[in-house]
Amino acid sequence: MMNIDNILKLVQSGDLDIAEAKRLLEEGLSGAHTAPAGRPETIIQAGRTPEQPAIDRTVKDAGQKSAEETPMRRKASFLSLSEDAVDDSLGYAQLDLSRPARTGFPEVIYGESKSAEQIAAIFERLAAHTDRVLATRVDADKAAYVMQRIPGVKHHPEARALTWLRSGEAVPDGDSYIAVVCAGTSDVPVAEEAAVTAECLGSRVERVYDVGVAGIHRLFRRLPVIRGASAVVVVAGMEGALASVLGGLVSVPVIAVPTSVGYGASFQGVAALLSMLNACAPGISVVNIDNGFGAGYNAALIHQNGTKRDET
């Protein structure tokens, strides 16, 4: 059985909630309690002891200190799943307004299958609550509508993406960066989705395109840039061999993206996906076919968490 000091420390650190702390204290005291002389035992009702008011005050004080002083409690309060954390005013969407505080980045709009009006309305709501908005899989007609309706939105045609930054500024220059590498020019749209995603989320990106294994000497010319990255996104179709090659040449995480580029037996990217999943080189993780967004997002997480550790 934990003693009272240990229980209160856990409450203050945010690792034990108040209800559970009270239960532990009650169990500890009731097990050793005997009724005072001249006082009937029946006074102890519903599991409460004469010490219960003191327990309630002690745990409440510890909980108040925890809520006021510990980072965990401050964050928990900020991230509370209250009605204010969700905007459901549009009817067809429930916008997650507390996602930047929970995960570090705002909610991202997936534009495919949404109408231009829906994308624009969601874009406006998110822009009112965050400093950046990203929409992926947005075709040219939808992009034109959104840009006409919302000032400051930038269209990235190859990536099929829309971005908006409250400051209107590009990603600041810095020593650390992500490398986005693609095998062929046909893979560029997926590579650009990864690059634009990472840049919108605050990471600097170096692009290394058209360096597939059919002309591998092209890759070796750019190795210094690739090896200097905090994380590497590798985009390739057909047999997807580039991911394995790079996995054996760099000392940072490699995020492989199979694309649907290729002839019949590539099965719209399944061949590249299976090749990457079976890669011999270690340090490779694989996202879904054509999922440049997922790769760019993961790379940005790796890059920015590494940058935070370097700064502390």
Do residues 247 and 284 make contact, with C-beta atoms less than 8 angstroms apart? yes
Q: pLDDT band at 189, cuts 50/70/90?
A: very high
pLDDT tens per residue across span 207-247: 999 999 999 999 999 999 999 999 999 999 999 999 999 99
pLDDT the model gives residue 174 = 74
Range 112-117 contact pairs with CB under 8 angstroms and sequence separation of 24 or more? 112/137, 114/142, 115/142, 116/141, 116/142, 116/145, 116/146, 117/145
Higher confidence at residue 266 or residue 48? 266
Higher confidence at residue 257 or residue 105? 257
Taking the whole predicted model, whether its pTM rises above 0.85 is answered as: no
Measured distance CA(110)–CA(105) in Å, rounded: 15
**168 pLDDT above the threshold of 60:** yes
pLDDT the model gives residue 172 = 61
pLDDT the model gives residue 193 = 98
With pLDDT > 70 as the criterion, what percentage of the chain qualifies? 70
Q: pLDDT band at 69, cuts 50/70/90?
A: very low
Average pLDDT, the chain: 82
**76 pLDDT above the threshold of 60:** no
- CATH topology for 178-311 is Rossmann fold (3.40.50)
**268 pLDDT above the threshold of 70:** yes
- Among residues 57, 62, 85, 55, the alpha carbon closest in space to that of 15 is found at 62
pLDDT the model gives residue 40 = 42
Which residues fall within 8 angstroms of residue 227, CB to CB, at 6 or more apart?
249, 250, 251, 252
pLDDT tens per residue across span 7-51: 666 666 666 666 676 677 666 655 544 444 444 443 334 444 555
pLDDT the model gives residue 5 = 64
All structural domains of the chain with their residue ranges: 4-73, 85-165, 178-311
